[in-house]
Amino acid sequence: MESLPLRHFKEINNWDTVIFIYNAALKEIGTKIDILNDEFQHRHKYNPIEHVKSRLKQPESIVKKLKKHGYESTIENMVKYINDIAGIRITCSFTSDIYRIAEMIANQDDLTVLSIKDYIKYPKESGYQSYHMIVTVPIFLSDSVIDTKVEIQIRTIAQDFWATLEHKIYYKFEGNAPAYISRELRECARMVSHLDERMLRLNEAISESKERGDAS
């Protein structure tokens, strides 16, 4: 069985086939995440993952992004330069879960981590917080194996709420929101960070109390 790494994706010149492969990659990663969550529940009686959402980038968005960076709209350029064609977003309750989940994913033998961006420790100027991983997963076809990139975003429920609102505002103002709205968003991001820290401390206190067998 021939192995086709990312650089040989150019041998595929059919758009529907490319989308099929990226959709298969989403299924592979989604199954892994489900199993890891089930295993964590089995071992620790606790689910670190609240919700998982997957999506494929629309063709017009891919073309727009390629043009923005000065690349021709070819399948080869799409595969080489666009890392978020296939994306999975994982939401969890606490920031500690984010790093726990990221570690479990990185430890999968058949996944290769290409890059990590920790916007929780180092938030964007806008206030955006999330943990991003670009990984490749092998897709086994009848006559080949194709390593396919998937972007994984891991964030708390509060961070996800903020990011969803920020995305809506960004879309409404086409990336040029009024200064006062940007300031409010940054302030809300600080509040989200503070809330996550307090909720994590509260959860840790509850866990310690249970271990000691404290009365209510």
Domain ranges in the chain are 2-157
Give the pLDDT of residue 5. Answer: 47
Tens digits of residue pLDDT in 92-129:
999 999 999 999 999 999 999 999 999 999 999 999 99
The residues that bridge with 53 in the sheet, in sequence order, are 89
Predicted TM-score (pTM) of the model is 0.88
Q: Which of the residues 2, 11, 76, 151 is marked catalytic? A: 151
Tens digits of residue pLDDT in 165-203:
998 988 888 778 899 999 999 999 999 999 999 999 999
Q: 2-157: which CATH number, 3.30.460.10, 3.20.20.60, 3.40.710.10, 3.40.50.720?
A: 3.30.460.10
Q: Would you say 67 and 125 are in contact if contact means Cβ atoms under 8 Å apart?
A: no
How many C-beta atoms surround the C-beta of residue 112 within 10 A?
14
Kindly report the average pLDDT of the chain as a whole number.
90
Residue with tokens 């923005």: 68
Top-confidence residue, 16 or 67: 67
Catalytic residue list contains 208: no
